[in-house]
Structures are given as structure tokens and as C-alpha cells.
Structure 1
């Protein structure tokens, strides 16, 4: 049965559909919302091998003409170079303003193509067809798009909502165990923000989620609902939406410090370490019990995720380097750090004006810990 999560943004509402076999129905679902548009599908080399033919067949079955562009896989594709390539490709296909860009891939492709759609012809419709667990539960929902800069992650982009999200659960079977684990970190995040009962449910159902049982689709649907509710309250991240960055201030700094080298660290792994650090930092600031940090770390470890900076292979950055990346974070205002901290499981809050010296001292201690 298809799970449907509706995101009722006024004038820009859209559905998130969650089911097995949605690639084959993609054309039908798109045509019912956009009509007989033309499309450009953008994907990466890994995803193209597994899923591009099925999507193109699904589009053709509904009479949607589509060209495809395949890019290199990996975080480094989120760059100005490939942004220009996607925009130029769409224009070369003579796509019109009502035609669509379709992002077939994980968070990298979704963020890149969403940004391209937001600026090509001053804004074109785009469809998210996320193929990783991380993208299905997080990056495909909410309209945040962008690319990376030498100064940090996701510093260039626009808010541009998709017209439809098609989360085909069947495609997750082609993920490597590492990619699936990385996506699971974002699922856990929703429980830690403000849904303690969901976190407890994850503790009880983690094995079934990883095995592809019925709990998998439920976990995806619950995650999408959680994110959609926050987006509806604060679409442009001026308030509560910052809570969705739990673990990301630390995680993005670690990604930047490792030069976005996916052999060392992928986004979800950075988030997992970041969430563990956020709970330890909260305990250090006497905002939460150390027992909560232990519980969070235990669950992440049970899922096979890293929880400490030392879990990253290769040379580690020093505390000053990490602080420099954190000070470039989008959540810095007036040069002052903002962290998402917690009073306990499911009790996250926005902490403004955290002293940089306190954060740097904490990072130094974490790097020296054994």
C-alpha cells in the first residue's frame, strides 16, 4: 500500500509517496500533477546502472519525453562546475519553464538538481526520486537545495520546493550496507529532536528496518512526517527548522575537514558523530544527563555507525581547524555560534551564543579522549 505524506505549503503543496515499485509509476504520477511535460533526468554513475532504465521506461509509459544526464558519484559533484553542467544540459534540451528536472539519486544529486531547477529559467519544476535512505527521509523533503564551497558545506543554494517526491523503497535493496547505515542516522535524528517515543520504537525495531521488513516503510513515513511538520512551521529556517540540524554543525565541520572524501566520511556518518557529540556537549554544559549520551551512542553503535571523531580513518583535524569550519556554518549569526543541544532524548533546543572557547575546549577534549 502506498504511504502518502502531504506537504500543504500554500500554493506549493506536494506529496511524498512511499512504496515499492514507484519508478515504474513515475510517469503516471508526474503526468497527473504536471501534465504532459518534457523532462531531463539527472543521476550519477552508480545510480544510473541500477535504476535509470526503469525510470525512463516509467516516464515513457506515460508519454513523458525525457533526456538523461549522468554525473560522477560523490560529494564533490555538489560544485559550481556540475551546477553549470546541469543548467546547460536543461537549456540545451530546450526545456521550457513548465517542463521538469528530475533528480534520480541520493542527497548530492537531489541538492544539485534542485538548485539548478531553482535558477534555470528563473525557476522550473523539479521532481525528487531519492534512491538512498538518507535522501528519502531527509534531503528530498523541504526544498533546501545547494552546493558546497571551499569554505564549507551547502553554503550556496536556494529554497526551492519539489513538486513531487517518489520514495521507491525497492531501490534501497541496491544500497551498500554503509550507505544504508548512513541514511539511518537521519532517521534516528527525528526521534532525538522531539519524538522520544519514535526513538524508543527505533530501538525496538532497528533490526527489522535493516532487514527490509514492514518497519522500514513505517520508519521512512514517520521521518517524512516529522520533517514536513517542521518545514510547515518554518520553511526558510528562521526558527524551529534549525532543529533539523541536530548533529549537523559538528558533522558538517568534520566533512569539511576531511575535504568531503567519501572514502573517509559520508554525510550520515558525520551526522551520527555529530549527534553523539551534541549529546555529550549538552551533558558537559549541564543541560542533559550523561546517561542520554550513553544511550544515543549505544543505539548508533548497534546500527554500525561511528560515534567519535577518532572513528574517522586517516589524519584527524585539530580543534582549531574544526572551529574554523563551524564558524562558516550557515547558522552563525553576527559571528556567534548556534548549536542544537538537548535536555534529553527527544528534547532538543536551539542554543544561541555558545562561547567559541567552550566549544573549542570540548572539541580538544574529544580529540584527546581514548
Structure 2
């Protein structure tokens, strides 16, 4: 009986940790900093609250967009991106990946469904590369944290990365490479693929349907909690970074628009990336300390496409040649985007 109770207790603790670990880490950081330096603890708390209030309008816009997309079923628009000639499919898939929301199950299962269904790898790669970088909700929050110009540049980078990846893949496919891209035993993508296998009509006036109104409220609450916890952690980390990381160090490593600076930012973005929303305040803080705009864009794009969790998922899904191509396109495209933005910013 004692062993059973202990097992249940450990299981409950594990569940609580999995659900609330970001809040726990945020609280632990504030408490730890306050114990070491009460003045810095108070400053970090004030900084975090002020930052959240300043981004609140964009945060609310982001939440509303995500909830509206879920309630209307806008993820079903994905199916339209994967029909027609491969050259045209790459363009549409890049645009859809960068500008439209998709199933919350994540892009990896959806990619599996598309490939199993026989969609050309070129179009799938375009969507694969563009989708993690930007969507309407992310655009609203990026504009609030880093400015409209940066948000537009990130959107252009997402579309450009999709086009680059799609056409490079198409060229390799026509040369006879990249046949059978999936590892053996990969399934059909679950709910991520449902919107592609059997697309349903989008109901833009969702408020006329009780179930869709419920879905809107549920998605709004879920998105609020998700963004709230990650932005809180990100703003705490930004406050500590501004307090303890010398600005001259950031300027030396990531200042300027040289190729090496952008390459370093892209490489650092892969392991350092938390998620798309949490990364925004961190990049904002780095740019305040001297990080170049091009390096900041490279950091966000590289981290979004090829963060460690995403890379591990791709490795589990695709055969090694496809995985290597994916990483090469992600990093190379990120560096190119950073250099171009640095040249015009």
C-alpha cells in the first residue's frame, strides 16, 4: 500500500511539473535572484510586469487571432497548398506555411501525413521550413516586441526560406535524389493530417455555432496561459541579461553585419531557442545591448526552424539525407536572411 501511494505521489508530482514547470522556473528565478540581490529581484519583477503591460495590446491581438483560427477551422486551408504543378505548389506552400495557422498538434505529424499521401517532397519542404517561423499570431506579437519592420522582415524570411528550400529540393528530386524520404514505420500524421486528408469548409462567422464559440473560448484561454507563462519567463531572463551580461560582450560577438556575426547568431539560435514567443523578448534585449538586426533575424529564423526539439523530431521522421538537407537549408537560409536584412535595415 505504501509503495502504491508513493508511486501515485510521484506520478502526481511528475504531472504537475510537466504542466507548470515554466511557472516554477520563473518563480524559482525570481526567488533566487531576490535572495542574492533583493534590489535586482525587485527590479526584475518590475521589469517583467512593465514589459507585459506594454505588450498587452499585441498579446491580446495574438490571442484573438489564434482563437479565431481555431474556431473557424482555418487550418483546413492547408489542403489548398498541396495541389497542382510542383513549381506552383512550392510557392503556395511557402505562403501558406508563413501566413496561415495550422493544426496545434504541430507541423511534424502533418509533414508525415503529407509525405505518406504522396505529396512531393519539394512542396512539403517549403511548408516545413516556412511554417515554424511566422504566422499571423506571431506577426502581431513580433510587431509589438521588435517593431513592425522586424515583423515584416521575419515574414519575408519565412516565405523566402520556404521558396529556397522548395526549389532546391525540387532540383535534387529531378536529379534523381531524395526518393522515399520517410523512415520505415512512420504513420499517417494523426490529427495533424486530418485537415489535409479530408478538409472541411472554413466557417468564418463562427459565432453562429455554439460548438465553435466554445472552441474559441477554449483556444483563447489555452493561448493566454501558454503565452503568459513563456513571456513571463522570457522577460525575467531579459531583465537578468540586461543586468548581468556586459553590453560590450554582446556588441563584440553579435554586433555589426559581417558574415561571421550572422553565422554565429544562427548557430547560437539552435540550442538557445526556447520557443517562438519566448525568444522575442530575449532578442529584443540583445539588440538593446548591441546585437545587429541581421544577427537577431538569423537567430530567430534558425532557432524557429531547427531548434533542438524540432531537429530531433525531424531526425525521427525523415531519412538521413532529408534531415541533412533540412538542417542545411534552415541554417543557410537563416544566414542569408540575416545578411540581407542587415544590408537594408
- The answer to whether the superposition gives a TM-score over 0.5 is no
In proportion to residue count, which structure has more strand? 1
The structure whose Rg is larger is 2
Which structure's relative contact order is higher, taking Cα pairs within 8 Å and 6+ residues apart? 2
TM-score (ref. length: structure 1):
0.24
In proportion to residue count, which structure has more helix? 2
